[in-house]
Structure 1
């Protein structure tokens, strides 16, 4: 944990990037990637996140100044209780240090509510910005209202895709600014062939290795992936060739997807699949290990039903891994089916299986996807995202109405 104080010129906007989590999920990966790029450009920035202060951030080698505040306990609590407790803890921590910042840039619903509360209780002259990566499917009135206020009350709202700009306008009446995600080309070190082989051996992948990132969750289309895998496994059995293995990275989430995960895994035997053999859960891995899995796999299987941007896709493409995603609108904003990725119909396991089969068997197609995918990833850098954010931070504050 770092608690470095800012020493900055008075005309430079001091920014706190605020996140409810330190785990390597899309929102926090975005937060840290943006923070590192801003810091390297000389912009005063500090990450404030909830987690385990002793463990720090998931990427311990980061050069971005940061503070990790103790997060809420998960033991015996409901999602609503965890959300409200997290807001309390994060708001208190921000209030103590709010004089150090000109902008509190929240990266999620919890962080936005905490930043707004910290400003209200201190009366500090700070702006509150919010990046809405996506809108959570909350079900209780308290959480639905909490999320609505976290979108409608900040001074400015950013989104990472045109799809979510349209959704926020239609559902919340908010005009948002699009600033896409990015990827750091040097984030993942080169992976020796011996390490790739060792990872494949670890999951006993004698045939194709499919990689899924994000855990087993509804919006990741995990059941769709399992059903597509079952089709490919049956074909391999008929042909007498090694079955494909689906390695699943990640799974730690603020929300509890255990019932979905357990039900999905329980369905595997009925599909002719077995957990630990055909579907191997790897859990949360280090940044370096994630890069190694990108290098070791044959294809990214990412059939999401809902995404804010799909940061995993450009991470994979930056490492030369062909991508099979889905045709949800957010992917079609920056991926072209048949050119930079394959985008089968969302929720259709037969279409997903066909796309995966094509990548695994058609070498010219696989090579084209790698080349075009790398070109797409090169257009989305954290340096570019940081420069656009710096422009937004420096914009003059609108005068009060009247």
Structure 2
């Protein structure tokens, strides 16, 4: 199958959506499909061979983060040319109503179109205003995917219609088999905790963790905190410098370093305060064997099955976070059953499973086989029947 994938967000500063697009493309290619990805990126930005760079972007604040988007007549011309040259069997648009390349492709393209919605939010005045304008465009999408129930709720409440849930994927074995780094490994005397995220985005929760660290060190003076990610946060560096080697800022880490970090530490902490539609880094940490302590937001609660596969604490509550960390670190062996259960549960998110579900949506969108089912009276019903069929026959 010839598959065209459009990413609305820039590969210059990649984030969760870009990594999702990259990994999906690579797994599709590995299973024999022809894939081309169109994405914003500067000409000097190194991108994989299958990515067509569409040029520079504009930074726009969005949902507690910064989205780097590409829009305008030049971008539209590049998108049109890519579509014509690609002659794709199916077009897969990520964040199709974000004013960037995905929306341009949706305007221009005809034929089978699949859209994946990644964003979750409670309220959005911008989406409420834009909804009547984009709904005619959304009618061109044959198959709608949401990466989580939270993302699906956003689609239903803000855009109308429905979507089938196909989660983000992880190469589980890469994390499960990652080599451990001695410098990051914990001991009974000096257990280790990792934080990974954009440091200068408050919603990632570094301020909450910074407030919890002194409380943890009062009870476990040997605990070590490894803080990784992009962004300058001099105020936290200065405040936490008083604790010496108990806190280490690692800066940005590569994919291989992230895998090794998560495989080495005792606990992964996710103190996010909101704006998350899934919780991919939780799945990565669970795959690597780390015990997860996460804030009790809906997306994380879903991944951790309400606390079955890790510990949850009230959002923004530094004291509760400190207590959860102490509980997890004080008796490292006590968390072993939870970690074992989590390492089995994450198999559901392996790219081998997720890609089969995406291909089932592609088949439905292109008129491929779908199991006869009463649910097939609606588009989303046909999608869910297709996914169930994939699960049953193992294809």
TM over 0.5: yes
Determine the structure 2 residue equivalent to 1:249: 228
Determine the structure 2 residue equivalent to 1:335: 304
Determine the structure 2 residue equivalent to 1:303: 271
Q: Distance in 2 between matches of 1:220 and 1:28?
A: 18
TM, length-normalised to structure 1: 0.75
Gap change, CA 1:187 and 1:150, over 3 Å in 2: farther
Q: CA deviation at 1:317?
A: 1.0
Q: Distance in 1 between matches of 2:280 and 2:225?
A: 20
Determine the structure 1 residue equivalent to 2:155: 168
Long gaps (5+) in structure 2: 368-395
Gap change, CA 1:170 and 1:277, over 3 Å in 2: same
Determine the structure 2 residue equivalent to 1:130: 115
Determine the structure 1 residue equivalent to 2:18: 28
Determine the structure 1 residue equivalent to 2:380: none
Q: CA deviation at 1:396?
A: 4.3
Q: 8 Å contact 1:151–1:157 — kept in the other structure?
A: no
Q: 8 Å contact 2:279–2:303 — kept in the other structure?
A: no
Determine the structure 2 residue equivalent to 1:208: 191
Q: 8 Å contact 1:95–1:119 — kept in the other structure?
A: no
- 1:288 corresponds to 2:273: no
Q: CA deviation at 1:219?
A: 2.1
Q: CA deviation at 1:323?
A: 0.7
After superposition, what is the alpha-carbon deviation per residue over 1:304-339, rounded to whole angstroms, capped at 9, x for unaligned? 222111000111111111111122122222323553
Q: How does 1:110-121 map to 2 (within 5 A)?
A: 113-120=100-107
SS of equivalent residue, structure 1 residue 351: helix
Q: 8 Å contact 1:265–1:275 — kept in the other structure?
A: no
Determine the structure 2 residue equivalent to 1:183: 170
Q: CA deviation at 1:229?
A: 1.4
Bigger fraction of residues in strand? 2
Gap change, CA 1:20 and 1:340, over 3 Å in 2: same
Gap change, CA 1:380 and 1:352, over 3 Å in 2: same
User: Alignment length, in residue pairs?
Assistant: 354
Q: Distance in 1 between matches of 2:120 and 2:190?
A: 38
Bigger fraction of residues in helix? 2
Gap change, CA 1:138 and 1:250, over 3 Å in 2: farther
Q: How does 1:253-272 map to 2 (within 5 A)?
A: 261=233, 265=236, 269=239
Q: Distance in 2 between matches of 1:126 and 1:116?
A: 15
- 1:232 corresponds to 2:216: yes
SS of equivalent residue, structure 1 residue 51: coil
| 1:394 corresponds to which of 359, 363, 366 | 363
Gap change, CA 1:168 and 1:139, over 3 Å in 2: closer
Long gaps (5+) in structure 1: 1-11, 253-257
| 1:374 corresponds to which of 343, 349, 367 | 343
Q: How does 1:48-127 map to 2 (within 5 A)?
A: 48-57=38-47, 65-72=50-57, 79=61, 86-88=70-72, 90-99=75-84, 100=86, 101-108=88-95, 113-120=100-107, 122=108, 124-127=109-112
TM, length-normalised to structure 2: 0.76
Q: 8 Å contact 2:120–2:150 — kept in the other structure?
A: no
Q: Distance in 1 between matches of 2:226 and 2:318?
A: 17
Q: 8 Å contact 2:185–2:191 — kept in the other structure?
A: no
Q: CA deviation at 1:289?
A: 0.9
Gap change, CA 1:56 and 1:90, over 3 Å in 2: farther
User: Which stretch shifts more, 212-221 or 45-54?
Assistant: 45-54
Gap change, CA 1:175 and 1:275, over 3 Å in 2: farther
User: Which stretch shifts more, 99-108 or 295-304?
Assistant: 99-108
Q: Distance in 2 between matches of 1:282 and 1:109?
A: 35
After superposition, what is the alpha-carbon deviation per residue over 1:280-309, rounded to whole angstroms, capped at 9, x for unaligned? 333332111111111222210012222111
SS of equivalent residue, structure 1 residue 223: helix
SS of equivalent residue, structure 1 residue 175: coil
| 1:46 corresponds to which of 22, 36, 55 | 36
Q: Distance in 2 between matches of 1:126 and 1:137?
A: 32
| RMSD of aligned residue pairs (Cα, Å) | 3.5
